[in-house]
Amino acid sequence: MRSWNEVYASARQKCTICRCCPSCNGLACRGETPGPGGKGSGSAFVRNVEKVNAVTIVMDTIVSNEEVSTVSDFFGLPTALPVYAAPISGILQNYGAQMSDQAYTEAVVAGSIAAGTLAFTGDGKQDAMFREPCAIVKEHDGKGIPTIKPWAQGHMDWRIALAKESGCPAIASDIDASGLSNLRNSETPVGFKTVEELKEIAKAVQVPLILKGIMSVRGAKKALEAGAQGIVVSNHGGRVLDGAQSGIEVLEEICAQVGTQMKVFVDGGFRSGSDVFKALALGADGVLIGRPISHAAIGDGAQGVEIYLRKIQLELKETMALAGCKNIKDITRDMVVCDF
């Protein structure tokens, strides 16, 4: 099996838009949308990474010499680690890689399964951009989370039905995509949803509904009222609102208010297993990773994704061991310090 450095070098050769920088921090690609960058000045993408780096970890090395386990739980389904591939589409448009979205989704779903975890799959303006990911999840025994953009209701209905047919353990909706101008102005536009509209969606899915794009306690409470069983604290990789706060900045407050009533995931700027540890210590149930997973899939398909996720798992294990943790439940708030 290749090393992660080899996979990343391969991705750099294959991408003609994304630079595959040594540090994926949003600086070189500010404002490049389409492309991999953050919206406008790119400050929200940059802030995501900076604020994750502003959290430091407290070491504790006088502990028992037991094996560390990263096993987690996704709505009753055990996973090898609490890390999931974020929903991404438009690989040619945003990365410049000669890889179809169908091939990309197959690589991410299969690679995530091989690493013992799950992928959230994408959606887009063409119907095939949702139909194909659902078919791939179904082919892999429902081991994936179809993610639906907030379309007009008629376009939501058939997507929900198709997602349910895949046998998936949950269905997500990245409601923050309502801020994507290219989708708001499309022939089938996305739009904002009220609590009452989201209640109808939660009833229709008949599996846990995860709402992605929650960035405040107010929003989290609305998601809970709407019947969501999970949320993703996310600013859409800094791609919808220039100047937005980062997910990790608002994570702890959100977890304190709703964390006992629903699962709380987070994304935005997480690049290593130690970064994942920081999110878990602040109350998250899991972390979604986007751009690095894309680089992994572009670089070496499903094997690249598996290599990256196993790297993250090893880093998480090492961090847990040096913080005195033997399992995920051992990770507590006093193990990190936030400089924000």
Task: Determine the 3-state secondary structure of 57 from DSSP.
Answer: strand
Distances (CA, A) of 125 to 33, 130, 131: 16, 9, 11
Give backbone dihedrals phi and psi of 63, rounded to 5 degrees, phi first: -145, 170
DSSP assignment of 169-237 equals: S-EEEEGGGGG-HHHHTSSS-B----HHHHHHHHHHH-S-EEEEEE-SHHHHHHHHHTT-SEEEE--GG
The DSSP symbol for 150 reads -
CA distance 72 to 269: 21
3-state helix, strand, coil in the chain (%, to 5): 45, 15, 40
The residue type of 33 is T
Q: Cis (ω within 30 of 0) for the bond into 34? A: yes
Is 236 one of the annotated active-site residues of the chain? yes
Report which of 286, 253, 291 is spatially closest to residue 269, judged by C-alpha positions: 291
Active site residues: 236
